[in-house]
Structure 1
Amino acid sequence: MRVALNHGNPVLVGKTPGGEPFGITVAIARALAQHFGLDMCFVEYDRAADVSADAKQDKWDVCFLAFDPKRARTIDFTKPYLQIEGSYLAGPSETARGAEELVASGAPVGSVKGSAYTLTLQRKTGSEHLVIFEDFKSLLNAFLDSKVAAIAGIHQVMLAQSEKRPGIRVLYPPFMKIRQAIGVPQGRPRAKAMLEDWRSSLVQDGTMGELLEKHGVGRECLFT
């Protein structure tokens, strides 16, 4: 079983100093392989957009991504198992007091190409003020250089950045709910049904909640 890992979401996937992947997604993938008695290998990606782009290329068998209607054109998703939030991080010179005020101001907002939050923001009011970057590193560098007034991202990541750097702050309320699900390339209905049954059992018996807590994500993020 080839499992696509999206390293673009550090809340869910990380790497040890030795380069080994770890995190919630990795733990769930290993539990999945063990349950079905399958050998497993990881196919690693820097961005969710690249995972989606390979859905028709027979590069992976299972992925763990946030559901989005655009992605669902080529990927069949289970029901979500995890819900996190997307938030804005405002720079020192940005005067907006909240998320809605930021959008109304027309200030340039940076976001990462192909991410779930970017796909959502591109469908919302204010999309014309989005500035798209290839990856989170270039996004963050542009933000710190004051090339954009704010950036969009996963709430926990935005919060961590605000705690590191005086003068920047997370704006409320979050602009979206990001619902993480298990996906397979379209055209594999039996595999999708088996994954749905397995996901449901892990949520109902408490195993999924335990996995989340073990990796620093509260049970309140569990999608039931």
Structure 2
Amino acid sequence: MRKASLLAAAAALVMLGGAAAHADQYDDIMKAKKIRISTDMAIPPSGMMDSSMKPTGSDVETAQLLAKDWGLEIEWVQTTGATRIPNLQTNKADVVISTLSVTPERAKVIDFTKAYASLQSVVGCLKSAQVKGWDDLKDKTIAVSRGTTQDTELSAMKDRALKLSRYDDDATMVTAAVSGQADCIATSATIVNQIGVKNPNRVFEPKVPIRNFDLAIGVRQGEPKLKEKLNEWITANLKNGKLNEIYKKFHGTELPAEMRS
């Protein structure tokens, strides 16, 4: 009986060891020589398709730099704002690099690396609109992409009684602004400034700041080694200036000084 018990215990340890090894996502990625990265390709200039229908943008080049440094092939996992976290939770993606801002609510269900970039979240309106503060938005409908931090932030402002019009993704929301269906949108300052490029007759500008967010890489919970390796990579590429170069190339400004130091 004692021998049988010992054998059973040994078998259990082997099974646990196998499960632990399988749970080490970093080792699995390096062994496969491929990383599945969830990125929205419809939110210029962070993610988009170029004239040759190849992915480009600041998040795309950040992901490509990571894959190059780690010697990996990228498998792109297309996403929208609302599906980024589910892609991690359902194991469709290994990481999310897609303007994913760090919030306490999201940190309850996924893990975040240290910040690799930042996002200035604003309400932007037509340049001609007389909007100087929140009170000037009371009678205006604000377009917002469903499931984003802007959606969460504005929805929580019950006392301001803001009128929100939700769209499934940033591309549809921007199209609404470009085509005249929306005169105000809640998104990043960079996207607001892109609207006038698409339609010079409808120039938008940031009007009311919401909040500045750190952008980080999203990782499934319980993967400390992957998170540690990503943090090491971010630290090195902030120090050598490569992440700042990517950000400046697409956004026209440098990363905050405290992030680059």
Same structural fold, with TM-score higher than 0.5 when normalized by the shorter chain: yes
**2:101 counterpart of 1:66:** yes
Residue among 127, 130, 142 paired with 1:109: 142
1:27 pairs with 2:71: no
Secondary structure at the counterpart of residue 81 of structure 1 = strand
Question: How do 1:140-219 and structure 2 match up within 5 A?
Answer: 140-143=174-177, 148-162=182-196, 164-166=199-201, 169-219=204-254
Q: 1:165 to 1:134 in 2, by over 3 A?
A: same
Change (3 A) 1:149 1:193: same
Secondary structure in structure 2 of the residue aligned to 1:55 = helix
How many residues are matched? 221
| TM-score relative to the length of structure 2 | 0.73
Q: Does 1 or 2 have the higher relative contact order (CA < 8 Å, sep 6+)? A: 1
SS of the residue corresponding to residue 72 of structure 2 reads coil
Query: Is the contact made by 1:117 and 1:176 (CA closer than 8 Å) also made in structure 2?
Result: no
Q: What CA RMSD, in Å, does the superposition of the two structures yield over aligned residues?
A: 2.6
Q: For 1:17, what is the secondary structure of its paired residue?
A: coil
| SS state at 2:90 partner | coil
User: Does structure 2 conserve the Cα–Cα contact (< 8 Å) formed by 1:117 and 1:178?
Assistant: no
User: Taking every aligned residue pair, what percent have the same amino acid on both sides?
Assistant: 21
TM-score, structure 1 as length reference: 0.84
Deviation string, structure 1 residues 99-133 (Cα, Å, up to 9, x no partner) = 32334x25321111012322222233536522212
Q: 1:127 to 1:154 in 2, by over 3 A?
A: farther
- Aligned partner letter, 2:154: L
Name the aligned partner's letter for residue 48 of structure 2.
G
Deviations 1:14-56 (A, max 9, x none): 11223211122122212212222333211122x1211112221
- 1:128 and 1:199, CA in 2 relative to 1: closer, same or farther beyond 3 A? same
* Structure 1: gaps (5+ residues): none
Amino acid of the structure 2 residue aligned with 1:179: D
- Taking structure 1 as reference, are residues 107 and 211 closer, same or farther at Cα in structure 2, changes over 3 Å only? closer
| Residue 135 in structure 1 maps to residue 164 in structure 2 | no
Report the Cα distance in structure 1 between the residues aligned to 2:236 and 2:126, rounded to whole angstroms: 43
8 A contact 1:5–1:44 mirrored in 2: yes
Any gaps of 5 or more consecutive residues in structure 2? 1-34
The structure carrying a bigger helix percent of its residues is: 2
Does structure 2 retain, via aligned residues, the 8 Å contact 1:93–1:149?
no
1:36 aligns with 2:70: yes
